[in-house]
Every structure is written in structure tokens, then in C-alpha cells.
């Protein structure tokens, strides 16, 4: 497409599978939400290219992602009943409290049956406080993602694990110091690495503000 285009919303997100050279199957384009269809088309093309004889058809539609097996929409009630998280009182004191419904629902929908692992970290390791006011993301998620989901940077967490950067840039900025503190403890970062993470994350968040300003003054909103 046009590399100078300012607006990417109208660009097609369809994927294309092709074979430029015998035995070399390429898939390009697509989007995260159609990854199963993309994979199926690419594998089918490879089967055809290699003249393979699979023993069965595609089974992706019957495979659940991690945390999906045995998950129930009402699972969050178990979290709210059995787990505690730390909360801040109106006087600013941090005390144990019952996991509220919003946090429990968030964990259940984000992690499925693995939500109890995150809740256990929140309860047992004093990581049950929210990262940003008004949002259900808990400190325990940072530790969990570092340990089990290869979360290796502050940007990784605020942009791809929690999506907080997209939801509220300012809230993500306020959460950064705590996010970096937890990741530093998990990955044994020194002060220099922590400073580097802060600079990179702040620069990343600035691109969101610049993008919003550009959209506002592009002639459509003035």
C-alpha cells in the first residue's frame, strides 16, 4: 500500500497466501483476530505444495486457547469469594480486602482458568493493588506475565498485556513506575535498566499523544 498514507483504517486487513517458488509458501497481511484462519490457509497451502496426505482435516475450530478449557462465564464469582487483594482506604491506608467484582471479572476473562494463579499472587505476595485508578488491572498481573508469558519490558505490559496504553495514555504513564518496579524484581534489573525502561516507555506513550494531535488537526476536526 501507500507508505506515505496517514490513515491506515481503510487498508485491507485480509491475508494472502502464495507460492513464488516451489516449496516456499508465504503468508502476508492479516490481523491478530483472524490468526486461526490464517494458520489454516497457510497449512493447507503447504499441504498442497508438498503433496502431503494428512490423516485428518483441520482441527483448529475445536482447540481452545490456554485457559479456555473448562472456563465458565461465572468463574469470576469463585475469585471474588475465595481470594483477597490489597486495597487503599479513603485515608490512604493499604489493607486486605475482598476482590471486587470488576477485578475478578477482568482476571477471569483475560486469563480464563488460569485466573486463579494470578489471584493467588495478588493475595499471597501483596500484589493485589490496582495499577491505575478506574481500571481493573492488578499488580499481580505484571509478575504473572513476567513469570509465565515472557513479558520482558514495560512497554510489553502496558501495550500488549494490559492494553492500558491504548485505553488511557495518562493512566498508563502513572502506572509505569510500579510496573517497572515489579518487572525489575522479577528480572533482576539494575538501576540503569530501570531508567532505560522508563525512558523507552515514556517515549512510546508520547507517540500516542502525537498521533491524537495529528488526527485532531488533520482538517477533519478543525
pLDDT band at 81 (very low <50, low <70, confident <90, very high): confident
HSE-CB at 145 with a 13 A cutoff on CA atoms is 26
Query: How confident is the model at residue 50, as a pLDDT?
Result: 94
- Distance (Å) of CA 16 to CA 38, 149, 155, 180: 9, 29, 30, 39
113 against 62, higher pLDDT: 113
Q: What is the pTM of this model?
A: 0.77
Q: Which of 83, 120, 80 is nearest to 101 (CA)?
A: 80
Domains and CATH numbers, the chain: 15-62 (no CATH), 76-216 (1.10.8.870)
Grid cell in block for residue 113: 482458568
- The residue behind cell 486457547 is 65
The fraction of the chain above a pLDDT of 90, given in percent, is 65
DSSP string, 12-34: ---EEEEEEETTEEEEEE--GGG
The confidence score (pLDDT) of residue 91 equals 72
Q: Is 147 strand, coil or helix?
A: helix
Beta strands in the chain (DSSP E): 15-21, 24-29, 84-88, 94-98
Q: So what's the pLDDT on residue 90?
A: 66
Residue 217, pLDDT score? 41
pLDDT > 50? residue 219: no
Q: Are 87 and 67 in contact (CB under 8 A)?
A: no
Neighbours of 71 (CB within 10 A): 17
Range with the poorest average pLDDT among 7-11, 97-101, 173-177: 7-11
Average pLDDT, the chain: 88
Q: Is pLDDT at 152 greater than 60 in this prediction?
A: yes
Measuring CA to CA, how many Å separate 142 from each of 45, 122, 156, 167, 186?
Answer: 39, 10, 10, 17, 9
Question: Please, are residues 165 and 121 in contact by the beta-carbon 8 Å criterion?
Answer: no
- Give the pLDDT band of residue 98 (cuts 50, 70, 90): confident
CA atoms within a 13 Å half-sphere pointing along the CA-CB vector of 56: 3
- pLDDT at position 83, please? 87
| pLDDT given for residue 11 in this prediction | 61
Amino acid at each position: 500500500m501507500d507508505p506515505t498514507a496517514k490513515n491506515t483504517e481503510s487498508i485491507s486487513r485480509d491475508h494472502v497466501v502464495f507460492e513464488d517458488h516451489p516449496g516456499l509458501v508465504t503468508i502476508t497481511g492479516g490481523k491478530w483476530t483472524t490468526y486461526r484462519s490464517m494458520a489454516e490457509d497457510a497449512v493447507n497451502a503447504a499441504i498442497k505444495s508438498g503433496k502431503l496426505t494428512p490423516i485428518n482435516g483441520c482441527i483448529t475450530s475445536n482447540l481452545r486457547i490456554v485457559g479456555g478449557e473448562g472456563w465458565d462465564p461465572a468463574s469470576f464469582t469463585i475469585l471474588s469469594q475465595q481470594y483477597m487483594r490489597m486495597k487503599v482506604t479513603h485515608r490512604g491506608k493499604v489493607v486486605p480486602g475482598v476482590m471486587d467484582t470488576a477485578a475478578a471479572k477482568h482476571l477471569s476473562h483475560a486469563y480464563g482458568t488460569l485466573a486463579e494463579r494470578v489471584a493467588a499472587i495478588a493475595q499471597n505476595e501483596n500484589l493485589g493493588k490496582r495499577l491505575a485508578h478506574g481500571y481493573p488491572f492488578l499488580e499481580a498481573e505484571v509478575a504473572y506475565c513476567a513469570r509465565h508469558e515472557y513479558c520482558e519490558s514495560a512497554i510489553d505490559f502496558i501495550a500488549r498485556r494490559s492494553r492500558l496504553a491504548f485505553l488511557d495514555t495518562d493512566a498508563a504513564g502513572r502506572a509505569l513506575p510500579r510496573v517497572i518496579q515489579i518487572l525489575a524484581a522479577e528480572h533482576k534489573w539494575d538501576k540503569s535498566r530501570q531508567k532505560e525502561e522508563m525512558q523507552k516507555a515514556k517515549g512510546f506513550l508520547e507517540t500516542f499523544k502525537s498521533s491524537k494531535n495529528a488526527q485532531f488537526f488533520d482538517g477533519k476536526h478543525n
